[in-house]
Amino acid sequence: MTVRIAMWSGPRNISTAMMRSFSARADTAVTDEPFYGAYLKTTGEPHAMADAIIADMDCDWHSVAGTMRGDVPDGKAVWYQKHMSHHMEGPIGIDAFPDHVHVFLIRDPDLMVASYVQKNELKDAAQLGFARLVEYHDRISQRLGRPAPVVDSNRLLADPEAKLRALCAAIGIDWDPAMLRWPKGPHSADGIWASHWYNA
């Protein structure tokens, strides 16, 4: 049975490095921010490359959710889905994914904000998704009857192997040392926004 991982994060949380780590596993497919196009189309946020992103992606909320619950790319045993909490401004929320393993990636807010403002104007805290990330974590924790898994990116960077091993155990998949290394540069699973967002 496929393990579907929904990794929830705000922007600039080392989320791309985490996606790279999972993409290095031979048994894992990865999907990069599948609701980004729907978010931009719904909100009209003036992000860099917004028109190109909307044109490139499925922007129907229900259709995207159905895809994330549907057939796994290449029939892989693990499907890692990188989700941004602040993208969820439409009719779909975390409850649409009852069969996913939900994990929450956080970062020191000062570091997160310092990185974000290099890429986009910060006008409102909602752009960072903090409140929704807490809401989603609380909801999943209540459903599980225990705290949902949280990964602190600062601690992850300080001891990658230990934290990734613990994460794999929490998810219920085997540890794979390949998660510690991956090729530099663009990756085939990157969204088209990678040239703007992923170079710093």
Q: Which residues does residue 30 pair with via DSSP β-bridges, in sequence order?
A: 80
pLDDT tens track for 50-60:
999 999 999 99
Q: Is residue 198 situated within a structural domain?
A: no
Q: Is residue 40 situated within a structural domain?
A: yes
pLDDT tens track for 80-110:
999 999 999 999 999 999 999 999 999 887 7
117 HSE (CA, 13 A, CB side): 9
Domain count, the chain: 1
Rounded Cα distance between 65 and 82, Å, is 13
DSSP state of 91: S
Q: Could you tell me if residue 180 is left (phi over 0), alpha (psi between -120 and 50 degrees) or otherwise beta?
A: alpha
What CATH number is attached to the domain comprising 111?
A: 3.40.50.300
Rounded Cα distance between 51 and 21, Å, is 29
DSSP state of 86: G
Position 115 pLDDT exceeds 70: no
Query: Hey, what amino acid is at 180?
Result: L
Q: Is residue 195 situated within a structural domain?
A: no
Over the chain, what is the mean pLDDT? 91
Q: Using pLDDT thresholds of 50, 70 and 90, give the confidence band for residue 141.
A: very high
Rounded Cα distance between 182 and 137, Å, is 29
Could you tell me the two tokens for 79?
């499907």
Q: Is residue 191 situated within a structural domain?
A: no
Rounded mean pLDDT of 145-159? 96
pLDDT on residue 200: 43
Note whether 30 and 19 are within 8 A (CB): yes
- In this predicted model, which residue has the larger pLDDT, 151 or 13? 151
Position 43 pLDDT exceeds 80: yes
Q: Residue 191's closest CA among 66, 62, 55?
A: 55
- Residue 181's domain spans which residues? 3-185
Q: Quick one: 168 exposed, middle or buried, by C-beta within 10 A (0-12, 13-18, 19+)? A: middle
pLDDT on residue 128: 75
Q: Which of 60-69, 129-138, 154-163 has the lowest mean pLDDT?
A: 129-138
